[in-house]
Amino acid sequence: MQTSTFVDDWLCYNTILGEGAYGEVKLLIHKKSQEKIACKIIDHHKYKDASAAINREVTIHKLLDHENIIKYFGRRQEPLKEYIFLEYAAGGELFQLIEPDVGMPPANTQMYMKQLLCGVSYLHSKGIAHRDIKPENLLISIDGILKISDFGMATLFRFKGRERLLDKKCGTKPYLAPEVLQRPYKAPAADLWSCGIVFVAMMTGELPWAEATDKNEEFLKWKNDIYISETPWAKLGNTALSLARQILNVDSMRRLKLEQIERHPWMRLEFSFVISGNPLIRSTENSSDSSEDGSEKPAKRWNSMVEAETRMNRDTPTVTQSQPTISHRHSTIMEAVDSLRNTRRDQVCFSQPTQNEDLVLQFTQSPITKDNFQDLIKRLTRFYVKTGLEKTLEVLCTVLDSLHYGWTTDANGAVSVTTVDSCKNQLTFKANLFDMDGKILLDFRLSKGCGLQFKKKFLKLKECLSDIIDNKDVKI
């Protein structure tokens, strides 16, 4: 793969695209060519143990070149900071497209499953296991193509034709195959199990269990075949359930192999309603009369589920058990507003010394405006409000307090929210307020935790903020 030498100016947007284990991810745009790339910024001062992990990640990532895998372009190392340059996925993360408790249309699930399997097949053919497949690590390009990202846990399981069993317990609990928790395990089968959980999440908007161990009641029911009438399984048609059953086979030796998954009847069903080129626009046009099992129109079933979900969210407020970190509200809000204003005034230009560099020579921090906002990741977790900056912050923080979510504000004026999800795992997300030519855009982004649970909380917050939401300005 060609690694280009960056010799000209790159604009680096202030806004963070996402947060990884060792730092932030930002968008860079080339001043002349307008080429966009993502830049992972690793803070070695803050994360002393980052070096070895990043070196391992880069060693593997730079070997890869496939349409369904985020491309690695290069890195730049400094004593305290490191920059990793990656293909930019403007469509955001896959979980953004999954409606909590509903999922996404089966046609979209099938398309993403095919792309995911294609990427995983390539990885496995190179002897590499990803070991952390989940919707948060599956990004979507501007053209709606799924891209596997984050090789922080990846490892070589086959070298010169010799396969080894893996012994390290790593990944994200709800997506881990049962044998990974027992060890040692075969890498390819474990990755496929995670793909099976992603399949269920896309089809139903739910994760079937918090962990695949005998301590977990839902998993035990699945293992012992007493699950069929329960959620999420009851939401699947027979063919989809058969696929789930065979990918999520507890016996890894009998679990479907990748080519068998690709040949499964569900993967070959023809869903005839249009999938928009942009995955963020759900189209239900031209829907056919038959669903995967001939039971109901997929588009109709999906729409009615969305309606049911919206009703349910309205009817059943979530009570969380988090402890709020209550700051002095008035001063916190004022601080946030001030810092937001100051940040937006700043146009920090940090030129880098030119010797010994093969990557970025100059960065310019650039503020977000209505004109360049379209360059940033598309998210479904943002909306315009009718209120001004201060009022929006005040209403937001009041709602957060009423829901018993913990919150603090940072130097950039972003509100950092901490709560727990329904599995009692920590969930952290950020709310950023952008002043777009006088109109305030409220943008929510996951920092830590499960994407599906984050979307649930977002819907709850959106409902609570409905009085200030500007429904007229839907183009974001």
Q: How far is the CB of 38 from ligand AMP (least distance, A)?
A: 3
Residue 27 or 195: the one with the smaller Cβ distance to ligand AMP is 27
Q: How far is the CB of 61 from ligand AMP (least distance, A)?
A: 10
Q: Is the peptide bond before 184 cis (omega within 30 degrees of 0)?
A: yes
Residue 68 or 392: the one with the smaller Cβ distance to ligand AMP is 68
Compute CA distances 328 → 69, 396, 433, whole Å.
45, 15, 20
* SS3 assignment, position 318: coil
Pick the catalytic residue from 9, 132, 191, 443: 132
Give the footprint of ligand AMP on this chain (CB under 6 A).
17-20, 25, 38, 40, 70, 86-89, 93, 136, 139, 149-150, 377
Q: How far is the CB of 315 from ligand AMP (least distance, A)?
A: 31
Residue 142 or 267: the one with the smaller Cβ distance to ligand AMP is 142
With residue 312 as reference, give the H or E element that holds it: helix 298-315
Our CA dihedral for 408, 470, 101, 190, rounded to 10 degrees, sits at: -60
| Cα separation, 259 vs 181, whole angstroms | 25
Q: How far is the CB of 40 from ligand AMP (least distance, A)?
A: 6
Q: Are 234 and 244 in contact (CB under 8 A)?
A: no
Residue 87 or 473: the one with the smaller Cβ distance to ligand AMP is 87
Q: How far is the CB of 351 from ligand AMP (least distance, A)?
A: 25
Instruction: State the burial class of residue 167 (Cβ atoms within 10 Å of its Cβ: 0-12, 13-18, 19+).
Output: exposed
Which of 270-291 are b and which e, b meaning 16 or more Cβ less than 10 Å from the residue's Cβ? ebebebeeebeebbeeebeeeb
| Cα separation, 270 vs 454, whole angstroms | 32
Q: How far is the CB of 387 from ligand AMP (least distance, A)?
A: 27
443 tagged catalytic: no
Instruction: State the burial class of residue 373 (Cβ atoms within 10 Å of its Cβ: 0-12, 13-18, 19+).
Output: middle
The full DSSP string for 188-257 is HHHHHHHHHHHHHHHHHSS-S-S-SSTT-HHHHHHHTT--TTSTTGGGS-HHHHHHHHHHT-SSTTTSPP
Residue 88 or 434: the one with the smaller Cβ distance to ligand AMP is 88
Is 173 annotated to bind a ligand? Reply is no
Alpha helix ranges (H) inside 93-164: 106-125
Residue 20 or 388: the one with the smaller Cβ distance to ligand AMP is 20
Nearest CA among 234, 182, 238, 180 for reference residue 208: 234
Rg (CA), the chain: 23
Which positions are catalytic?
Answer: 132
Going by the annotation, the residues of the binding site are 40
Going by the annotation, the residues of the binding site for ATP are 40
